[in-house]
Structures are given as C-alpha cells and as structure tokens.
Structure 1
Amino acid sequence: MTIALPADADALENGLIEIARKAGAAMMEIYKTDFDVRSKDDASPVTEADDAAEAVILPGLRALTPDVKIVSEESAAKGDVPDVDGETDFFWLVDPLDGTKEFIKRNGEFTVNIALIAKGQPVLGVVYAPAIEKLYYGDPRGAKLIDGDVTPTITDITVRDMPEDGVVVVGSRSHGDPEAMKAFLGDLPVKELRPAGSSLKLCLVAAGEADLYPRLGPTMEWDIGAGHAVLKAAGGVIENMDGSRFDYGKADFRNPFFIARSPSVPVKYQD
C-alpha cells in the first residue's frame, strides 16, 4: 500500500533533521552539567534534558506540519495525548530522549526519536545520537546514515544478507532477560551478542552492522517508531512474535514483544 506523505518529502527530511539536531543540542547542554534525575509515575527516570528536547521538537513539528497530531512521551506522561486512530490517522510519534538510563550513565547511547506514522505504519523517521554525532534517516526513498555534525559523511544504508559465519544479535544494554534470549535464539548460529542502548539497536540492523534484535521485554511505541522507520527504509522488518504485522496507534501505545531483523535471517515464530 502506498501512503502519500502530508508534505514534500525533501522539505520533511530537511525540516525533521533540523529539529532533531536542535533537540540534540539542547540535551547536550544539559549532558555537560550535574543534572537532576526524577522518577515518573511508572518509576522510569526522567531528566530536564527530556523536557528540553521536547520543548524544541513539539513547536518544530507543529510549524512543519500544522495539521498532524503529535504523540510524545513526556507529554503523554502528563496526560496530554491526542486521540489518534491507528487505522486511519497520520501522527507524529516522538521520544525526545530515548535511552534516559544511558544518558544518566553518560555512555553516549541515547537518541532523539521522531517518526511519522500513517495508517498504523511508520513511513519516515529520524534517530539522532548527538553524543556520538550519528543521525539515521529513513523514508520511502531509502535509508541513510549522516555521520558527524560539522563535516558529515552521508552513506546509504541497507540491511545485509545473513553472514555465513553466524548472525550478530543486538540486545538492550539496560534491560533484558539472557535466558529468554537464549531460548528464543535456539540453534540459530550466533557470532556475537552485542549490547546497545536506545533505538540504536534498530539502526545497527538497518546499517548492516547487526542482523537480529529480538525484543523480549516491554517497550512503548515512541521507543521504536523512528528506528522502525529507518529499518523499514533499509529493507528490514519488525514483526510480532507470531510473525504478524507490527502496528502503531494502539490504545495505550504499549508494544508486544517483537522481532526486528534482516529478512534473510530465519526465526521461529511463537504461537
């Protein structure tokens, strides 16, 4: 199914990248300070950098696409959630700072996530990791990595075919169940298990640096929408554990467990 974008694709790309970079700059100013850490109602951590990034992103998106609804993590935590129909609506899905635990650890593996969802599917997205100066972008024309902020190099990226010497599997750096992962992988030949933070896991698969990311723990739609858009544009897939299509716009925006992979990697679906 072809879904028309609500504005010119080049204008959306340029505008979205500019918004993501400005949000990243705002959070990096706080990253350099002795920032405070608070707990949300669900006990997950939040910092002033989450709020500062959202304060850049929301007005930027409203200026870019005035008629498109926005679902953003920090606003949602405060009860500000627009009514969206996952089957019919366009809406932005935003995680201003994905990987807050990585931000707190100061390991650089945190990102700005912005995705456009159309009729339940991601159609474009940007994942920007300001501390390591990597920006991933994907839309129906393909996926790219923009490496470096001052003198960037731009590389088209695609998922790779399954390596003969075994797959590289990525998993969460701060979450995860090793025994569940072992059971899921079964007899699949695994060359390396690589931990990574935030939505960078999806981008590693998209860039052909990894092959498989089974998520066997809770996530929210804004955690993965942008990375899914990049992975999809690079030729990869995200599926539910039974192999069915992974959709967005669910009533509570909570995700089931899922599998992100290069299509060449075989998996055993669960009933």
Structure 2
Amino acid sequence: MFKEICKIAKDAGNAIIQVYISNKIINISYKNDNSPVTHADHIANKIIKDRLSNIYPNIPILSEEDSNNIKYNQNWDIYWLVDPLDGTKEFLKKNGEFTVNISLIEHGIPIIGVVYAPYFNVLYYAFEKKSWKINKIGEKKQIFVNQTNIPKYIISRSHPNKKLHDFLKNKKKYTIKKLGSSLKFCYVAEGKAQIYPRFGKTHIWDTAAGHAIVTGAGGKVITYSERKNLNYFLSSKVSLINPDFLVLS
C-alpha cells in the first residue's frame, strides 16, 4: 500500500511543479479563514482523490480542499487524511518549501504517512512504525530523531506568534531554523532539528502525515497544554483544528 501512496504523492507533486515553474498567472482565491488556495491545490487534490478512490474505494477521504464543504462521518474508524499542497504561502513565495501530505488514519492514529517535497524531489514516509527518506537521486535510508546538547528549534516561516516568542524567551542555549510546511516535522524526524513548537491554528490534515513520520523515527507529537498524544479521532473533535502542540525528538 505505501508504495502506491508514495507514487500518488509524487504524481501530485509533479503536477504542482508544472504550475510552479510555468510563467502563467497563478489563480488565487481565499478560504473562509483567509488562507490562499491556487489551481495547483485543486489539480493535486483531484489526482490524489481520484487515485485513492479507484484503488481503495471502501476507505473514505478527508481532504483540505474540501474544507469549505466538508462531508465526513465522525464514526470513521479508518480514513485517508490529505493535504494536497501544504505550504501554499511558500508556493506563492517561490521558496520551494511546500509538500504533498497523505496519511492513513486508523482509530485516531496515523499509521501511514507520506510527505513529498516536489521542488527538492525528496520523499519521506512512515510505514510499520519506521520512517524513511528517499533523496533526489533515489537513495533510501531509515531516519531517526537525534538529541543534542544545544537543541535546534524549528519554527514556521510564515506564522509568527507571540505565544511562541514567550515560549522561547526562557530557553537558554538553542538555535532556530525557520521552515515552511510539514517539512518541519521531517527535519525533526531525521535529526536536523530537535523541537518544533506550534502555537496558533493548524488543521488535522496539516499534521497527520508528518506526525506519522516523526513517531516512526522515534519522536512524539503531544498537545502543549495536556502533554497527551495528538490524535485524529473525528468523534472526539468539535472542529478539525488542532490544539497547540510540540513535536519532540
């Protein structure tokens, strides 16, 4: 299954790149929360949903690009959770830091996660509680979180936040890297960073694939206030917005 999902993610990513490198004007609209969406988002969404529906017709799909008209059953025990283009702001800024995210949720836990960064041609995936990276020349290696004496905090490039500033001000020795999209999860998973603190609004499709990759690499994703594992049980949610959370190596 995971090989098929990786292929779908790469095909969607390649379609996104065709829009990214073209000289055509990118049509931009805005969702209810004022976040941007482009026709690249819609193209990738159609590829992913069509292919998943054809291969696994009995597994329902919850995708960000249906978020203005979400139809889902809170009693789903298993479902696909998809963000066809995570990091649309980075896509529009032309810095390459955007991804395709596909995850399979079973009983509230992401058991498969695929994150593909098409601009860098790098793919991360988690399967059977292990995580892997395939680089741009096709080399595959298992990845693991890594502890250091001076931790690196990886933070959002496009979402500055006062709560994050307050969180960091009492820390002593550390470094910071700013990065877009779910690549932040992947950097923790492969040991390039140790902590990703996230305050402010994210949705479950923003985090599930990266969450799977972090846990497969030996890390964890916990809520900030209660220090419980971030979960994807639809039945327990009043909305599809995550609480503040920490990604830890």
Pairwise same-fold verdict (TM > 0.5): yes
Asked if 1:159 corresponds to 2:145, the answer is yes
**Which one-letter code corresponds to 1:172 in the other structure?**
S
Kindly state the Cα deviation for residue 24 of structure 1 after the two structures are TM-superposed: 0.3
Specify the alignment match of 1:268 in structure 2.
Answer: none
Matches within 5 A, 1:54-93: 54-77=45-68, 79-85=69-75, 89-93=77-81
Partners in 2 of 1:219 and 1:141 — Cα distance?
24
Asked if 1:114 corresponds to 2:108, the answer is no
Kindly state the Cα deviation for residue 58 of structure 1 after the two structures are TM-superposed: 0.3
Kindly state the Cα deviation for residue 187 of structure 1 after the two structures are TM-superposed: 4.2
Identity of matched residues, % = 40
Give the 4+ runs in structure 1 shifted more than 3 A: 185-190
Gap change, CA 1:189 and 1:124, over 3 Å in 2: farther
Unaligned segments of structure 1, at least 5 residues: 1-11, 263-271
8 Å Cα contact 1:176-1:216 kept in structure 2: no
Specify the alignment match of 1:37 in structure 2.
Answer: 28
Kindly state the Cα deviation for residue 186 of structure 1 after the two structures are TM-superposed: 5.2
Specify the alignment match of 2:204 in structure 1.
Answer: 221
TM-score (norm 2): 0.93
Partners in 1 of 2:87 and 2:121 — Cα distance?
15
Specify the alignment match of 2:135 in structure 1.
Answer: 147
Partners in 2 of 1:80 and 1:245 — Cα distance?
25
Specify the alignment match of 1:26 in structure 2.
Answer: 15
Unaligned segments of structure 2, at least 5 residues: none
Matches within 5 A, 1:184-203: 184-185=167-168, 187-203=170-186
Partners in 1 of 2:14 and 2:165 — Cα distance?
39
Partners in 2 of 1:229 and 1:192 — Cα distance?
25
Specify the alignment match of 1:49 in structure 2.
Answer: 40
Specify the alignment match of 1:17 in structure 2.
Answer: 6
Partners in 2 of 1:42 and 1:191 — Cα distance?
33
TM-score (norm 1): 0.86
Q: What is the count of residue pairs matched by the alignment?
A: 243
8 Å Cα contact 2:220-2:229 kept in structure 1: no
Partners in 1 of 2:70 and 2:227 — Cα distance?
33
Q: Residue 40 of structure 2 aligns to a residue in which SS? A: helix
Deviations 1:195-231 (CA, angstroms, capped at 9, x unpaired): 0000000110001000000101110000111000111
